[in-house]
Amino acid sequence: MLLALTTLLGSLAATAVAATTSTSPRSCSSIAAPQIPGAKVLSVSSTELINSTVAAYPPLLNEAVTGINVCEAIVTLTHRGANYTVKGARGRLATARISIAPYAVQGFAAASTDAGLDGNLLDPSMWALKADGTVNTDLLTNFASRSVHDLAVVSKAVAAVSAPLGCKV
């Protein structure tokens, strides 16, 4: 389930992928919006991936990962007072899948976040500074701590709600 931890009070995007077994699995569409203290969930979307493949992408993923059967969930949220919204994996869904696919195919819950950052992650000037040259404290806070916290909270919430229902998550 890709939770691009997509929700991250300002905003957080996270991605979570979880896999469970069940005798009577439910559709991915039954995943409800998690309750995140201090945050507002803007959307939840999910897609069932059956026998999916994530292509190799060296050096991050040296071999393709095949046979992935998971529910990919993307949660988009924002934090009150922050002047931005994070959506999904911000166009980097493929990168998120690369980082979590090896764990998801083994049946583990896996998650990833883009911390609400756009652009080149190797060059922080694209997101760390506002247009006027001052520090973008909202995004710096996301990068430093908030996104990781939100990723954990959202991932656990989605997994806790989905697994007992027998969802293929």
Q: What is the pLDDT of residue 45?
A: 82
Q: Which of 48-52, 83-87, 139-143, 149-153 has the lowest mean pLDDT?
A: 83-87
What is the pTM assigned to this prediction?
0.70
Q: Which of 125, 123, 64, 115 is nearest to 89 (CA)?
A: 115
Bond preceding residue 58 cis, omega within 30 of 0 = no
- The vertex-166 CA angle with 35 and 68, nearest 5°, equals 95
Q: What is the pLDDT of residue 101?
A: 86
C-alpha dist (Å) from residue 17 to 1, 107, 108, 143, 147:
3, 9, 8, 21, 16
- The vertex-33 CA angle with 32 and 34, nearest 5°, equals 110
CA distance 12 to 146: 8
Going by their DSSP bridges, the two strands 65-79 and 39-54 should be labelled as antiparallel
Q: What is the mean pLDDT of the chain?
A: 71
Identify residue 90 by its one-letter amino acid code.
Answer: R
Summarised one tens digit per residue, pLDDT across range 28-81 is 666 778 888 888 888 888 888 888 898 988 888 899 999 988 888 888 888 877
Q: Which of 100, 8, 29 is nearest to 71 (CA)?
A: 29
Residue 106 has φ and ψ, to the nearest 5°, of -90, 0
The 3 state secondary structure assigned to 65-110 is: EEEEEEEEEEEEEEECCCCCCCCCCCCCHHHHHHHHHHHHCCCCCE
